[in-house]
Amino acid sequence: MAPLAADSSVPNGFFPFPPPANMPLAAPPPGVTPNFDHPASNAWHVDVTAAVCIPLIVLFSSLRLYTQYRLYPSRTLADYTFMLAAAWTIIYIGILLALLDKGLFGRHIWDLKMEDLTNAPFLMVLILEAIYGPFVWIIKVSLFCLYRQIFAPKQYLLYLVWAGIIVTGVFYWSTLVAAVALCAPRGNETYIMAFATARCGETKGLAVVSGVFNVLSDLYLLVIPIPATLALHLPRRKKIALLFLFATGVLAFNASCLGLHYRIQVNRSLDDTWKIMPLYLAIIIEMTAGIAVLCMPAMAALSRRYTPAVTAYFSRNNDDSNDNEHSTFYEMAKPRNVANSSNARKIEAQSSNNYGHTATSSSESANELRPNTSDSVTLAEKLGRASTSPKM
């Protein structure tokens, strides 16, 4: 993913060193005139995507953490890896936004002059290239750990989980080593000179390989829970519900496919500073989709806990309005000291019974959802059975 692809016919890439200050980074296509004063930019696409995705990451993460601390007193490896994945994702997006703030990327390469180049943006690109692999890996590790927690007694799935963790770990951490080895400055090179070399240009091909691996690993994560879910001792309706829960991983798979498409485009183009923006956009969506998938089981548990209480609240209000359609305005108009105390006591007793019953049902559901690897029943089966707890 080198922003300056090297030309093997030129010793130092696109330009000689020291280059003329007013020289464009690359020759424009035929019929196109470089626009140094008011260049077009597609960096705002990434800004908008980040502005949408960061609040979603914070929202999903907050709901999952709330569910963890309120429903489950114990912590698992999946919980710790998730918190690390969410934090690292926000850090990655923050570095990317800082890169766009420099104004170099997002413009056509022929709209940039030599004097526009500084070392800081290329250092940020190197950091983004280096940390991308480990950051994506920790998201996948968190999902693997979630599978291990949900299907704990399934021994064959445990083997698949550990195989996935090891294989993805070896690959993604090797991308960090490759990025540093190929694009870090050597000797007296600056970051600008290092990115203009032929060796750094090789990272564009490695980025395509990384994109293919992303698609295959996401497909692996999407497929491995299907046999285990179908083998659960649950009604068909519950199995379908669990499959739909895991099917949210299609979001991450689609984002990986989109990322592979843009990696191929960057690899075929010399206009790296423009073409790389859609790739960064796809990476943000890919990471956000991964975080969202990790939060789906917690969201389901949260919904089961509070939906009965909300339903009871609105049901009670509807019953009151049916008894007397003007009761609300009537009670508001009466002086507080002469309000109908008997109705108030009746509503209070009914509310107490409703919420007491709801709390008991929610407590039973939470106890069922708590993982217990020593039990022969998987957590996935408990997830399915929890929805059959007594309701209002």
Contacts of the segment 179-188: beta carbons below 8 A, 24+ positions apart: 179/126, 179/129, 179/130, 179/203, 180/126, 180/130, 182/206, 183/2, 183/126, 183/129, 184/126
Predicted local distance difference test score (pLDDT) of residue 131: 94
Rg, C-alpha atoms of the chain: 28
Nearest to 369 by CA among 358, 378, 360: 378
**φ and ψ of 41, to 5 deg:** -145, 140
Phi-psi region of 324 (alpha: psi -120 to 50; beta: other; left: phi over 0): beta
Q: Could you give the angle at which helices 119-150 and 77-101 cross, rounded to 10 degrees?
A: 160
Task: Spell out the per-residue pLDDT of the chain, length 392, in tens.
Answer: 444 444 433 434 444 555 566 677 788 888 888 888 888 888 899 999 999 999 999 999 998 888 877 776 667 788 889 999 999 999 999 999 999 888 888 888 888 887 788 888 999 999 999 999 999 999 999 989 888 887 776 788 888 999 999 999 999 999 999 999 999 999 888 898 888 888 988 888 899 999 999 999 999 998 888 887 777 777 777 777 677 776 777 888 888 999 999 999 888 888 888 889 999 999 999 999 889 888 887 777 777 766 665 555 555 555 544 444 333 322 333 333 333 444 444 444 454 454 444 444 444 443 433 444 444 445 555 444 444 443 33
The CA distance from 183 to 201, in Å, is: 8
Q: Which of 241, 246, 226 is nearest to 385 (CA)?
A: 241
| Dihedral, 267, 89, 229, 389 alpha carbons, nearest 10 | -150
d(CA 303, CA 306): 6
Please name which of 184, 173, 185, 80 lies closest in space to residue 131, comparing C-alpha atoms: 173
Three-class HEC string of the chain = CCCCCCCCCCCCCCCCCCCCCCCECCCCCCCCCCCCCCCCECHHHHHHHHHHHHHHHHHHHHHHHHHHHHHCCCCCHHHHHHHHHHHHHHHHHHHHHHHHHCCCCCECHHHCEHHHCCHHHHHHHHHHHHHHHHHHHHHHHHHHHHHHHHCCCCHHHHHHHHHHHHHHHHHHHHHHHHHHHHHCCCCCCCHHHHHCCHHHHCHHHHHHHHHHHHHHHHHHHHHCHHHHHHCCCCCHHHHHHHHHHHCCHHHHHHHHHHHHHHHHHHHHCCCHHHHHHHHHHHHHHHHHHHHHHHHHHHHHHHHHHHHHHHHHHHHHHHHHHHHCCCHHHHHHHCCHHHCCHHHHHHHHHHHHHHHHHHHHHHHHHHHHHCCCCCCCCCHHHHHHHHCCCCCC
Residue 289 contacts by C-beta under 8 Å, 6 or more apart in sequence?
A: 251, 252, 254, 255
Answer yes or no: are the C-beta atoms of 195 and 2 closer than 8 Å.
yes
pTM as predicted: 0.71
